[in-house]
Structure 1
Amino acid sequence: MNGVPGDTALVLIAPRDAWISPADLARTGLSGIGGARRELDGRTLVSLRSLAPDVRFELDERELALRLEAAPSLLGRGAVDLRAWSRPAGIETGDAPSAFLNYAAHATTQEDASGFLEAGVSRDAALLTGSVSATQVAGVVRGLTTLTLDRPERLLRLTAGDALVAPDALSGAPMLAGIGIAREWSLDPYRVRAPLPGATAFAATPSTVDVYVNGALARSLPVAPGTYDLSNLPVTTGANDVRLVVRDAFGRTQAIEAAHYQAQGLLAPGLDELGWWAGALRERYGTESFSYGDPVLIGRHRRGFSDRLTGGARLELGPRVQQAGASVTVGSGAGELEAAAAASADEGAPGAAGFLAWRYSARRFALGADASVLSSRFAHATLAAGADRALWRAGAHVAAPLGRVASVELQYVGAEQRDAGASHRVEARTSLRVGGGAWLQLSASVSRDRAADPAAAVFAQLVMAAPGGGTLDAGVRSGRAGTSASTGLQRTLPVGPGVGYRLRADSAAGGTVSALAQAQPEFGRYELGYDHGRGSEVGSASASGGLVLVGRRLFATRPVEQGFALLRVPGVPGVRAYLDRRPVGRTDARGDLLVPGLLPYYGNRLGIEDADVPASYRIGDTERLVASRPRGAAVVRFDVERLRAVEGWLRLARREGAVVPAYGTFELDLPGGTRRSPVGADGAFWLEDVPAGEHAARVYWNGEVCELPLAVPESGAGVLELGTVTCGPRAPML
């Protein structure tokens, strides 16, 4: 079939025709077969001649071969999902009830001290958290108290208590004390929410389909003959050049090329993004515990109507402020266009606002512009009609790489406050690689605030790698305040245990010096700081960490910010553990290790170093894919089992002396069944999982059997050596 060998089939040869079973044709990949039929000895046959022109055939009687060529319409149709982030197989949750307590304390030599506590309890899909802070100015103040319920199968998150509503283009970010329900994409990080492009490819023979995106090979997959609908091509945000190359078994190729612009603000057709919150506005957060304002209802909804169009609406209802708005996002080959409009009323005073943005990104450059306009009385939950606001705000940027060693960016930002006046800023930046892991960063800007004269500033900085994984920088700036120089040496904290530091010196404002030392063991994070400048010296110290209760054990750890796992290698201490192949610590005396920093709902790769497990243990899998809940625990037990093996050397007692039953068989009766071991040339045997006690045993050799009791003493050793075991008088084999 199309040059690919098939199975042996029964063929009835007729003048200028051949008859074959439809089932044999189906095994070659054909589908939707019609044609003339006949019955022969209870078998249904179809005429190949009647299938023309979709099927052409040639009969080679010398080779007893039937060569067929079929049209694409008969080769079937399949679907292939090419998404880059498909959910890997074998993800386990390992959910376990847990509780945590985060703490932080900060003190300075100026007698300023503050503290923070946060507690949480997690069980299944529920998480209850609460926090409190203490400062010398505000005293003890309650933070956020929230109950969160996740529904990953529906991508919904329900909240009760304090919740921060995310802002959009024409609204603020109010904090409400109440209830809410919203679409939460992080509940399935592998879900594709953007409308990714697709393509169709045809393979006449077994072929390989190579998918190139922007000149780079993104996927390569073997396919059988047929037509394939390729969905979710792995494109990136911005302009993409997509090329499909179909290469068959004979080296013949066909190419399909297309251009696609991937807009980041679009939703896939039929996909909804929604959120509804009802509660009282929380006011003076951070300084008061129970200060609430007006009740308010906030609703948002966006929906993907097509691959190129997403629309949305917003509603805000309260006794003082009411607001309604709509938005639209359009994607095309010319980029992404986003527009929004809203109308409001604050105690009857009307207001209006609008927003417009355009973005275009390609491999060689990116540019965009946005602008928003607010009336003098526009209001929403966090902006009263009488408050100052930006009557207009505008921005534009263009960025482009200059070969492989440089990039350049030009940016404008401007705004006019209703009460404070207008401001403008234009800035140009470039980054040049000067070799040896060093970069030169240059910038120049001109700004004007309100009625002040324009001010120009220039900045140059050289950044290079320092020994030990740090960076060293030195720079100079010149502006309205004069010319100054600065230098610094820093190293960021690693993901796991380690140290970090920061040293900086600046000649501005009479000279400033600052230093920071950081230490991050497995059980916390600690910092010592020093600042000198403007006629004062300040030293500071801070400590933060967490306590976690999981698996009936209490662990000290770094602050719990994401998910965590209790990794268990039962009874084996000192085993190195890895998170996404990065070392995170060693198991304790019980074989446990708490691993923080798991990405919630994502397949985190946890592993152990098998070389650290003693040879007296049997090891199962050394790597697992684990998904935890947000700030919740997953208990991951690695299967290691102590080998309770016995070994020894067999002898058969004879009158003429002991005989080695070389290459015989040794049997041992155990409660779980009979264990057998071959006997070596020196009489050696090896049996695993043998409990202590006396067991019936037999030696088979040269057609004979010798029975004996085998006593296995209690022992903590993984392998117990029994020494020489002698079987008494021989007995004939039964």
Structure 2
Amino acid sequence: MRTSRPAAPLIVIVCALVAGTVFAQTEPVEQTTIPVPLVVNGRRVGEIPILIVEADFTERVSIVPVALVGLLPELAPDTAAQPLLASTDWTALDAFDAAGLSVAFDPEEILVRVRVPAQALRPVELPLSGRTAPVPRGIELPQAEVSAIANLEGWARYSYEQSRFDYRVTPDVALNLYGAAIEVKGGLRSAVPIGFLDHARLTWDLPELHLRLQAGDLRYRTTRLERVTRITGVSFTTDESLGHAMVGQGGVTLPIIVPDRGTVLVTRNGSQVVRRTLDPGNYLLSALPLVQGINEITVTWPGPDGPTTVDLLIPHDTELVRPGRLDAGLAVGVANRDLLDPLATAAVTYGVAQPLTIGVRFGSAFLRTEFDAGVSAVIATQAGAFRIASDVGIGPDDRLAVDVPIGYRLVDSRSDRYRSIGATAGFGYTKPPAPAAQTLRLYASGYVGFAFADGFSLTPRLSYSMSSTGDADGAERATTHDVRFVTGLRRSVRGGASLSANVGLAYREELNFLASVSYSASFPDIRQNLFLQQDLTAGKASVFWSRYAGDRPRDVDWTASAQIPVDRSDLFTVGAQVGYRDPFVRGSLSHGLSGVLEDDEYRNATSLTVASALLFADGAFALSTPVTDSFVLVAGDPDSAVPVGLVRPTGYRSVALGDRPLVFGGVRSYSPFQIEAEPLEIVLGAEERERLYYVLPSYRSGTLVRIAIERNVYVGGVLLDRAERPVGFALGAWERTDDPTRSGEFFTDGEGYFEVYSLAPGSYRLRVAAGPGALNGMSYEFTIPPGAPEYVDLGNLIPTGPAARPANGGQE
């Protein structure tokens, strides 16, 4: 927001300069001190006082170097300008030349221009890819201190042949208290036991530490211990998504210097992937946009001597994590809610370097004396990516299980024909308690994929496995071999359709022929998909036809499927489902038929599912479809001076705001949820951010947003110094106390009167920079109440240190 300034104050400054010049004809030296705007590298950053010394019809302009501190970009610690910027004395502008800075006074526009060369700036890291939290704009709104989510789903099925009725009613409740989420999910069912508890847990996040603490039935379960389907206890996990830091890929960095505003271009394997305009500066490009396989990266930017280009060849794998990133977890509790089966499990994954990531996993069931451990590593090279994931399990009675797979993958999209190569090989060994037989497994598989420019692809695959079971001494050992060779052909055509065929041979005690043909098509205009497949080996034909819901508030989707065998003795299935969705409820009705034609046996079943949710935040209730993470309720404020017509949240279309709160249940926790309000009438002088709001919700939380748009007003008053004398001909600055970025400038006339325009209700601070008869550092404060008239008379303002008060109480 900027103040609309009349032309008179500019005339005051010009007259001051002219008066100084005329006075210099009778006096040998004349000094004038005025505040002027400061422009750094083409961008206005604030104001700075200047000293104009006029002698012998010449002018010399000086500034205090320390006044530049905080207004300049961050300089490198070894720059020659650092000692000079510590000076508190008036210094001529040409003294900065020796320090590597260009400082000049523009008498036409009455401002000081500073040019900081890019090489003198501290390097700034600039991520080019990865998941970054979007920069929120507008007014941040806190989430509700107490919010609740109550999902309710009902399911029923009737089987006609058995005349059997099954049902399940599942409430899922989440209560968020000051950022801690309590979740309980259970219900009733027709099976025994009739009541069940799916999970109950407490989640407490520390976003600033990227740490999540949980107690109860844990979501964290990294273990391969036998018979462990769930862990009940406590866990500590690190999760970068809890904060808003960069989650990039790859650790390759590239330092560049941009002397003038220009564009950085990044191409990958011949295609442009990044185009970004940068201000002059010293940058360290990081998180280059990498894909699976070989990345041929070309970076071009405007260098000091013209366009500069650097070529990089970087291997990458999707399982690599950012160098320095540490994902760790620890869980301690009992297995399957059995208090007599305590266990502990832990896992750590660490990005060692750009091409290397390692991981370690460990688990132990104490009373069962069972242990499980694993080590994994991923390394990417220009010859491809290699992965190993070893696992060892040790149990009582000399039980032992070992599995060591080694994988290889290469993807090269630089060629028109060559696409990818993949291979996996390994062995496994299992030794159960005696007298059970031991098992040794060897396996290997590989594929080569070719892609052609006309949409045709060819992928031959070969796999082999051997399983040998018997005693340790080799007696009565049985060995089986399984070999498969399949070639896949695929032809893609315009419009989203493709035709695929798989042909091959399989051997396991006997040789078999494998063949299947499939066709798929997508029709986005009518939101439908079609899939057809004929499996010649199994003698079955499959059909899948669906219509998916669109983005309308109320819509219908349906799915029809069938699997018909050629042999009448095989099982056939036919099914259909219709779904309905509106802002408050979601439901589906389905029917399935299966049987064997030869035996004249059939099974019919009809199912119905209905789900809804009740939400609560800050005293407001709303109905919604089930919410799995967080939600936001948007309502109008009855005290709003301007009625709100539409709201446009992140990822949604504009929605009319009515009497009931709008519900947005697909909000992701720890990701800014932006809301823009559109008033029914034009608000003159209002900034865009006055209609922008955002929320940073925690896990399973709710927020009530009451939108109020105020009419902007303009204020006027008289500034007095501490002796209650008018502060005349002064340049000042105003800022909003709760948002210092909302600021501007103002001038006072000879009697200290000033005006500031286009201010929204709220608290403000005035600061006088300099001026005849004024003292530096004087500040004043005033408040514009909600519903204020178009003009607010502040009366006489007297500074009282950091705060201020009206001398006469102010008049509105």
TM-score (norm 1): 0.69
- In the alignment, does 2:128 pair up with 1:83? yes
State how far apart, in whole Å, the 2-side matches of 1:574 and 1:447 are. Answer: 67
- In the alignment, does 2:636 pair up with 1:636? no
- Please state how far the C-alpha of 1:77 moved relative to its aligned partner: 5.4
| Preserved contact between residue 330 and residue 338 of structure 1 (Cα < 8 Å) | yes
- In the alignment, does 2:627 pair up with 1:560? yes
- Please state how far the C-alpha of 1:108 moved relative to its aligned partner: 2.3
1:94 to 128, 142, 150: 142
SS at match of 1:560: coil
Q: Within 5 A, what are the aligned runs for 1:187-336?
A: 187-188=242-243, 190-192=245-247, 194-203=249-258, 207-214=262-269, 215-224=271-280, 228-247=283-302, 252-282=306-336, 291=338, 294-318=341-365, 319-320=367-368, 321-336=370-385
1:143 to 198, 208, 211: 198
Q: 1:134 to 1:448 in 2, by over 3 A?
A: farther
| Preserved contact between residue 118 and residue 259 of structure 2 (Cα < 8 Å) | no
- Please state how far the C-alpha of 1:220 moved relative to its aligned partner: 2.2
Q: Within 5 A, what are the aligned runs for 1:649-688?
A: none
2:663 match: 594
2:8 match: none
Identity %: 17
| Preserved contact between residue 196 and residue 262 of structure 1 (Cα < 8 Å) | no
State how far apart, in whole Å, the 1-side matches of 2:246 and 2:402 are. Answer: 36
1:339 to 388, 406, 416: 388
SS at match of 1:601: coil
Q: Within 5 A, what are the aligned runs for 1:535-574?
A: 535-571=602-638
1:360 to 386, 389, 410: 410
SS at match of 2:294: strand
Q: Deviations 1:484-528 (Å, cap 9, x if unpaired)?
A: 363624324658542211123443376654221111111121111
Q: Within 5 A, what are the aligned runs for 1:324-723?
A: 324-349=373-398, 350-363=400-413, 365-377=419-431, 391-392=441-442, 394-403=444-453, 405-411=455-461, 426-435=485-494, 437-444=495-502, 446=504, 451=509, 454-465=512-523, 468-473=526-531, 475-484=532-541, 486=543, 488-492=545-549, 494=551, 497-508=554-565, 512-534=573-595, 535-571=602-638, 575-583=645-653, 586-590=656-660, 592-608=661-677, 610=678, 613=680, 621-641=690-710, 689=787
Structure 2 stretches lacking a partner, 5+ long? 1-40, 43-62, 85-89, 102-115, 160-164, 470-478, 596-601, 714-760, 762-785, 794-812
SS at match of 1:186: helix
| Preserved contact between residue 221 and residue 231 of structure 2 (Cα < 8 Å) | no
State how far apart, in whole Å, the 2-side matches of 1:388 and 1:143 are. Answer: 37
Number of residue pairs aligned between Structure 1 and Structure 2: 597
Q: Deviations 1:415-466 (Å, cap 9, x if unpaired)?
A: 667779665655444443333x241231315575965653513122142417
SS at match of 1:141: strand
| Preserved contact between residue 337 and residue 356 of structure 1 (Cα < 8 Å) | yes
Q: Deviations 1:213-271 (Å, cap 9, x if unpaired)?
A: 333040323343x7543222233343222212223699x32211111122333333433
Amino acid at match of 2:575: S
**229-238 vs 507-516, which deviates more?**
507-516
State how far apart, in whole Å, the 1-side matches of 2:652 and 2:402 are. Answer: 52
SS at match of 1:507: strand
State how far apart, in whole Å, the 2-side matches of 1:387 and 1:181 are. Answer: 40
State how far apart, in whole Å, the 1-side matches of 2:706 and 2:665 are. Answer: 16
Q: 1:417 to 1:638 in 2, by over 3 A?
A: farther
| Preserved contact between residue 99 and residue 548 of structure 1 (Cα < 8 Å) | yes
Q: 1:399 to 1:570 in 2, by over 3 A?
A: farther
SS at match of 2:208: helix
Q: Deviations 1:367-418 (Å, cap 9, x if unpaired)?
A: 3223443321389xxxx99799994555444445432634444455666677
RMSD of Structure 2 on Structure 1 (CA): 4.8
| Preserved contact between residue 82 and residue 219 of structure 1 (Cα < 8 Å) | no
| Preserved contact between residue 165 and residue 173 of structure 1 (Cα < 8 Å) | no
State how far apart, in whole Å, the 2-side matches of 1:513 and 1:87 are. Answer: 45
- With CA pairs under 8 Å and 6+ residues apart, which has the higher RCO, 1 or 2? 2
Amino acid at match of 1:518: G
2:752 match: none
1:186 match: 241
Q: 1:145 to 1:409 in 2, by over 3 A?
A: farther
Q: 1:182 to 1:643 in 2, by over 3 A?
A: closer
SS at match of 1:153: helix
State how far apart, in whole Å, the 1-side matches of 2:564 and 2:527 are. Answer: 26
1:676 match: none
TM-score (norm 2): 0.63
1:115 match: 169
Q: 1:89 to 1:465 in 2, by over 3 A?
A: closer
State how far apart, in whole Å, the 1-side matches of 2:552 and 2:363 are. Answer: 42
Q: 1:144 to 1:532 in 2, by over 3 A?
A: same
State how far apart, in whole Å, the 2-side matches of 1:416 and 1:161 are. Answer: 43
State how far apart, in whole Å, the 2-side matches of 1:47 and 1:182 are. Answer: 52
